Amino acid sequence: MTSSQNIARSAIYKYLSLAIDYPAGLAAELLSSGSLFTEIAAHLGKLPAAYQALTGELPILQKELSGFAEMEDLQVAYTSHFDLAVNKQSCSLYESANIMPEAKAEEIAGFLVDLESFYGGAGIVLSDRDMPDHLATELEFMHFLCSQERFDLQADFIKLHLSNWIPQLAQSFLKREAFPFYTSLIMLIANYVQVDGPQ
């Protein structure tokens, strides 16, 4: 893998992290300007296999995003899709909720401690407000690992975490009546992780 390809991988994970996070601040700015998916497309161009597999998904996402007249509309859609406090039927963007939905609090706490230890082993300490198993946090961590060229940890993290639950999240999203934008975004993330992961 060339240095420019690794930089592209890092950038794609960063942009995907922003796209799936609550649409405020930088994420809202990049989404409303349309530059987020333009940037992903530019970086995909440096990764032939990923480009071939995923480039057709980006215009669809851009078109679906244009269906939201205001950023506030996208924020409402995000909250109704992913915030269990607002909508009990929403999809969780937390790994623990997807892989261990019936787990007791102490089991989830143990899982989160192990995940934070994984981050710590790479030199990352999360702020108190960041949940270690939120999809945006995990994608941001992959951005960091790619930027540091920590190939061993990248492969382990994809195998032990991202590949372990994102396909399941994507399938559950396909079964729901969801805003097409978020369904397509989750599918893009799942497909990118699959293409990028160890073969």
Distance, CA of 196 to CA of 198 (rounded, Å):
7
pLDDT of 78 above 70: yes
Q: What is the pLDDT of residues 119-177, one digit of tens each?
A: 999 999 988 888 999 999 999 999 999 999 999 999 999 999 999 999 999 988 888 76
What type of residue is 93? L
pLDDT of 89 above 90: no
Q: Which domains does the chain have, with CATH numbers?
A: 3-196 (1.10.3480)
Model pLDDT, residue 86 = 64
Sole residue written with tokens 């996402």: 61
Q: How buried is 39 (Cβ within 10 angstroms: 0-12 exposed, 13-18 middle, 19+ buried)?
A: middle
Model pLDDT, residue 82 = 87
Model pLDDT, residue 199 = 57
pLDDT of 62 above 70: yes
Distance, CA of 60 to CA of 185 (rounded, Å):
10
**pTM score:** 0.93
Model pLDDT, residue 51 = 84
The DSSP letter of residue 160 is I
Kindly provide the b/e burial profile for residues 161-174, where b requires at least 16 CB atoms within 10 angstroms of the residue's own CB.
bbbebbeebbeebe
Q: What is the pLDDT of residues 4-42, one digit of tens each?
A: 899 999 999 999 999 999 999 999 999 999 899 999 999
Which range of 9-23, 67-81, 179-193 scores highest in mean pLDDT? It is 9-23
pLDDT of 54 above 90: no
∠ Cα 162 165 166 (to 5°): 70
Model pLDDT, residue 34 = 86
Model pLDDT, residue 129 = 82
